[in-house]
Copies of this chain bind each other. A is one copy, B any other.
């Protein structure tokens, strides 16, 4: 299913891929072949579309970068280590070879940084905007994968980094928390974890649902990102709803939470206590005055 003009791009990537002991063979055949072994495989896919996830005119290397970064963030959420990626793309007919190369360069630079082998792909014409769908494969570490379903009443909820204001630019340049997740997994017992892509106020429902627990978020404790600029909405509102933070949300025991708060092992990236896991199935917010109010599930609205 390869169009000829774009075929050159795939050939170029193939030539640029260094030999990789994890990969029997990559680009150039009908499928890639990855060596088997005792380790289980984590697999995830994310698609990003022009007009939906990024504006026309966004630098194409940043678009490419983001298409892989969102997948790395998903893998980080399981405390996994990346191995290989497949890149499927719909490329607008008007793109020059240089533009196509820019997209791939953004993907490949981040792939190199995170030791990801690009083992396959599919390039096509798109009669509308740019579409990139990346599949990422990786392994859990020796401690196993961390899911969304292990949070227990009494656990403390924490996040890495700071929240809000990502759409000002950080949503294109964020650093996926792969190393940070593995470090946390080594240090403490991660009962549940996920990455924050749609905004804490929306994502929290997934953790709550999969763990069959209630959740209380303490709005006084939310770490507000410097990117949040004062406007009609409160900074807390931005931290809860802006989305595309790509930070980690995780549940640990109170003792582990205390240890993480005092040692701050990811410095300079903060880890912050933001709430707790409770019995039941409701998600609530502890307001500034200490009262509890029910958090309403709200869909993520792309804002471009």
Contacts from A to B (Cβ < 8 Å):
1-5, 24-25, 28-53, 70, 74-75, 77-78, 80, 84, 86-90, 119-122, 124-129, 131, 133, 135-140, 145, 147-149, 194-195, 197-198, 210, 299-300, 302
Which B residues are in CB contact (< 8 Å) with A136? 31
In the complex formed, the residue of B with least CB distance to A76 is: B30
Contact A46 B299 (CB under 8 A): no
Chain B residue at minimal CB-CB distance from A89: B47
Q: Bound complex: CA of A212 vs CA of B134, how far in Å?
A: 31
Known interface pairs A2-B198, A129-B127, A148-B28. Does A41 touch B44 (Cβ–Cβ under 8 Å)? no
- Whether A128 contacts B129 by the Cβ 8 Å rule is yes
Contact of B299 with A5 in the complex, beta carbons under 8 Å? yes
Residues in B with CB closer than 8 Å to A148 are 28-30
Assess whether B33 is in contact with A36, with CB atoms less than 8 Å apart.
no
Sample (13) of A-B pairs whose CB atoms are under 8 Å apart: A29-B149, A30-B44, A30-B75, A30-B194, A32-B43, A33-B42, A34-B43, A45-B121, A45-B122, A52-B127, A53-B124, A122-B133, A131-B133
**Contacting pair B36 A37 (CB below 8 A):** yes
Question: Copies per complex?
Answer: 2
A-B interface, 10 closest residue pairs, ranked by CB to CB distance from nearest: A4-B299, A128-B128, A133-B133, A30-B77, A31-B44, A47-B88, A135-B135, A45-B86, A30-B74, A31-B42
B124 contacts A49, C-beta separation under 8 Å: yes
Nearest-CB distance from A262 to chain B (Å)? 28
Q: How far is the CA of A198 from the CA of B194 in the complex (A)?
A: 41
